[in-house]
Amino acid sequence: MTEITATDLVELIKTRAAGQDRYVVAIAGPPGSGKSTLAADLAARLGPTAATLPMDGFHLDNDRLRQLGLLHRKGAPETFDAQGFVDLLREVRTTPRVSYPTFDRDADRTVPGAGHIGQDTRIVLVEGNYLLLTSPPWSSLDALFDLTVRLDVSREELEDRLVTRWLSHGLPAAEARARALGNDMKNAEHMFENARSPDFTLRAEC
């Protein structure tokens, strides 16, 4: 496991993806670490043959989470359709055109078929919290990635980012802090304790 910069990561992906029909990169990290921002930045630098694919579209719907008694744990590994996500990644590796669900944060719901991987997409940048988990079915993802990267951020910085995120959603300060230090940090700790080592780490920018 080696630390890498975003600039060096772009060059590495370009080199390793050369001549391949599809090259799949995992960008993992705890909630609030900047995965979406990094994936979008990498895609822009890599050019039109690169696309991002977020894991968030595989959140179970709120009604289903209520039935399971898991709504208060939304964002935990068990609140995702993990097998559906694994099946999608298998399809991405073998099928030129793939549609996938996205997540509307304002509406707090998934949008089926709103995302697309095109026939000309050679580099797929998959981003999500649990891409490196060692428990099934998440562990099946290991064989589906060509390269794995984890964003690293200190717990103190992560807490600050998560509180700020909930404040930006309009929550009062006390509730924002409770959400961040409760459920969000529980999910982050689970990722820290149950994930395999990535090929490279990248230090998240403050």
pLDDT at 96: 95
| Mean pLDDT, the chain, whole residue set | 92
pLDDT at 179: 80
pLDDT tens-digit readout, 29-87: 988 888 999 999 999 999 999 999 999 999 999 999 999 999 989 999 999 999 999 99
pLDDT at 123: 98
Q: 């630098």: which residue's tokens?
A: 45
Opening angle at CA 100, ends 148 and 20, nearest 5: 45
Q: What stretches in the chain show pLDDT beneath 70?
A: 1, 205-206
pTM of the model: 0.92
Residue 170, class by beta-carbon neighbours within 10 Å (0-12 exposed, 13-18 middle, 19+ buried)? exposed
Query: What topology is assigned to 2-154+197-203 in CATH?
Result: Rossmann fold (3.40.50)
- For residue 73, give every residue at least 6 positions away whose Cβ sits within 8 Å of its Cβ, in sequence order, or none: 65, 79, 183, 186
pLDDT at 206: 47
Residue 120, class by beta-carbon neighbours within 10 Å (0-12 exposed, 13-18 middle, 19+ buried)? exposed
The Cα–Cα gap between 33 and 31 comes to 6
Q: Where are the domains of the chain?
A: 2-154+197-203
Q: 């709120």: which residue's tokens?
A: 62
